[in-house]
Structure 1
Amino acid sequence: MQTRLPSTKDMQAFIMTSKHLKFTLAAEALNVTQGAVSRQILGLEKKLNVILFHRHARGLSLTEQGREFLPLAQKIIDDLQSAVEKISAIKPVIRLKAPSCITTWLLPKIMAYQRAFPEQKVELTSSIEHDVKLSSGDFDAIICYADVINDSSLIQQKLFDEYLTPVCCASFLPEGRSQLTISEMSDFPWLHSTPKQSDWALWLEAAQGHLSSSKHNQHFATLDLAVSAAKEGFGISIGDVMLASLDVNAGRLVMPHPLQVKSGKAYYFLYAATSKKKGLEALMNWLLEH
């Protein structure tokens, strides 16, 4: 009697559960319920007639058969994906997730990449979260904002370091001047991208060794919202030098003070070291070079 083959969903559930060793975390990564993952693993074990996981009070561990099956299952999924991409008339898609604040910098580069490589499509999703997590099955790669990345399971490339400086519309500058003092800047509303006003605090400490404050303060949920408000003339925001450069070059923003402070954080391009998705390294190198 022919053995009933597992479905690809069962195999992906097994791979993700092996990675996290908890049904709850595997379910979150696959965007399904914990019960669904548990049932898939039980069904897979029944089809194979083996126990793949030891169940413990605080999690799971692979059995000997589970450890033996894991690389085989991963190869099957990878080979199937490669086969589909090879014969499919549909262009392969790189699913990329990035913080919303970086999209103005990112979009022109992605469009240029797709013009250079028309056979490759990039599908961009933005998020207001900075610590975007790479979740298999959802995205092929992410751009992450962090101080350091310590994960040997990921291929990573720093795109650029964050340097902070004030930004505002040109109408804030007195006629014939290109700069403002900190005292002059405090006459305008200060726009903050965090409740703790940490970006302004970091820059002010480097500028004068102590904190000061504006007569008016306005808070926003993200850096791009604060910078957008600055472009509209609602106040002065702390912006990232690289991300603000397009608006500065176009005259939509000015940098009214010469000091640029390195925050210690950076933007990284990340993807799984085990990924077989074509074009990931080429896209990463394109963003780095351009």
Structure 2
Amino acid sequence: MDNRLPSTKEMQAFIVTAEHLKFTVAAQSLNLTQGAVSRQIISLEKKLNIPLFHRHARGLSLTDKGKDFLPLVKQVINQMKSAVEKVSDIKPIIRLKVPSCITTWLLPQIMAFQQAFPDIAVELTSSIKHDINFAFESFDAAICYCTVIKDKNLSSQLLFEEYLTPVCSPSLLTEAQTQLSIEEMGQLPWLHATPQQSDWSLWLNEAGCASLTAKHHQNFATLDLAVGAAIQGFGISIGDVTLAASELEAGRLCQPHSLQVKSGKGYYFVFPKVTNNLTLQNLINWLDS
């Protein structure tokens, strides 16, 4: 093996290429030419005396050694960033990935956190995906919607459990109504956060009305889209009590039925056990308070 250590440019080129598995996309992300990125990867492979990628006609894939090397390189880069933050005036950054459905609940808390900790920046990215792969995604932490975190390489803290209940615009109820029976709800359109319509199925099963269905159904790609349609009066959605709290308090949503069902899932703050972002605990404590 070449005794010379890899350069930071070579390591960054490797990380970005491993994330995209295409030299062209990695080059665009790094603002380099495709040839420059390819040369950095070849130089790194020569120093290690191992291939890091399998080259295919339509892209790349990591070799077994490449898969082993990636988290180690990320750890080194993170340690370097942490060392720079400790001795410089650069503001620490927490790069946080979250599902889009949680942003309404999260944004006020992030804004308050930034006021309380002005020297810590939070770079927020929303996604329709509810999971995270820190080996391939450049985030310090994530909020994941799931059951329990079983990955031994991850640390996690439950922020809140999910409780499901129907929500709709108050405009769908008459002045004399504060609640609707399940049969009355069946006369209105049901808005679904997934094509599988699993939230409604879970709630109806707990209500003892598993066979009941609505006359009209509308599917959406995410929970926030379904609840957003409910706010506009297009029908009834199944929402999470915590996530819908601000809309319920403001009167933009109401609960036409009192039954709340625990889904068995929740929203977890997740981050690698091996991390050098010393500011994460401040954000965890804030969100959990």
Instruction: Report the TM-score when normalising by structure 1.
Output: 0.81
The offset of 1:55, in angstroms, is 8.9
Contact 1:100 1:126 in 2 (8 A): yes
- The one-character-per-residue Cα deviations of 1:31-60 (angstroms, maximum 9, x if unpaired) are 7389988864541243x4x5356999x974
1:286 aligns with 2:266: no
Q: Tell me the distance in 2 between the aligned counterparts of 1:220 and 1:55.
A: 38
What amino acid sits opposite 2:161 in the alignment?
D
Q: Tell me the distance in 1 between the aligned counterparts of 2:156 and 2:37.
A: 29
Three-state SS of the structure 1 residue aligned to 2:183 is: helix
Three-state SS of the structure 2 residue aligned to 1:205 is: helix
Per the alignment, residue 109 of structure 1 pairs with 109
What amino acid sits opposite 1:271 in the alignment?
F
Provide the aligned C-alpha RMSD in A. Answer: 3.2
Per the alignment, residue 82 of structure 1 pairs with 82
1:51 aligns with 2:49: yes
Equivalent runs, 1:184-203 vs 2, <5 Å: 184-203=184-203
Equivalent runs, 1:164-203 vs 2, <5 Å: 164-203=164-203
- The one-character-per-residue Cα deviations of 1:70-99 (angstroms, maximum 9, x if unpaired) are 96x667534421232124433111111111
The offset of 1:113, in angstroms, is 0.9
With 159-168 and 4-13 compared, the bigger mean Cα shift is at 4-13
The offset of 1:9, in angstroms, is 3.4
What amino acid sits opposite 1:51 in the alignment?
N
Per the alignment, residue 26 of structure 2 pairs with 32
Q: Tell me the distance in 1 between the aligned counterparts of 2:35 and 2:20.
A: 11
Three-state SS of the structure 2 residue aligned to 1:204 is: helix
Three-state SS of the structure 1 residue aligned to 2:277 is: coil
The offset of 1:127, in angstroms, is 1.0
Contact 1:133 1:142 in 2 (8 A): no
What amino acid sits opposite 2:121 in the alignment?
K
Three-state SS of the structure 1 residue aligned to 2:134 is: coil
1:160 aligns with 2:160: yes
Per the alignment, residue 58 of structure 2 pairs with none
Per the alignment, residue 220 of structure 1 pairs with 220
The offset of 1:210, in angstroms, is 2.1
Aligned length: 272
Seen in structure 2, the aligned counterparts of structure 1 residues 55 and 9 have a Cα distance that, compared at 3 Å, is closer
Three-state SS of the structure 2 residue aligned to 1:243 is: coil
Per the alignment, residue 30 of structure 2 pairs with none
Q: Tell me the distance in 1 between the aligned counterparts of 2:191 and 2:219.
A: 6
Three-state SS of the structure 1 residue aligned to 2:177 is: coil
- The one-character-per-residue Cα deviations of 1:158-197 (angstroms, maximum 9, x if unpaired) are 1111111100111222324321101111111111111121
Q: Unpaired segments of 5 or more residues in structure 1?
A: 18-22
With 113-122 and 165-174 compared, the bigger mean Cα shift is at 165-174
Per the alignment, residue 100 of structure 1 pairs with 100
Three-state SS of the structure 2 residue aligned to 1:271 is: strand
Q: Unpaired segments of 5 or more residues in structure 2?
A: 28-33, 55-60
Three-state SS of the structure 2 residue aligned to 1:208 is: coil
Contact 2:18 2:136 in 1 (8 A): no
What amino acid sits opposite 2:187 in the alignment?
D
Contact 2:75 2:274 in 1 (8 A): no
Q: Tell me the distance in 2 between the aligned counterparts of 1:76 and 1:165.
A: 46
Per the alignment, residue 271 of structure 1 pairs with 271
With 248-257 and 35-44 compared, the bigger mean Cα shift is at 35-44
Q: Tell me the distance in 2 between the aligned counterparts of 1:191 and 1:278.
A: 42
Identity level (%):
55
Seen in structure 2, the aligned counterparts of structure 1 residues 41 and 4 have a Cα distance that, compared at 3 Å, is same
Three-state SS of the structure 2 residue aligned to 1:32 is: helix
Three-state SS of the structure 2 residue aligned to 1:242 is: coil
The offset of 1:240, in angstroms, is 0.7
Q: Tell me the distance in 2 between the aligned counterparts of 1:42 and 1:266.
A: 44
Q: Tell me the distance in 2 between the aligned counterparts of 1:155 and 1:280.
A: 11
Instruction: Report the TM-score when normalising by structure 2.
Output: 0.81
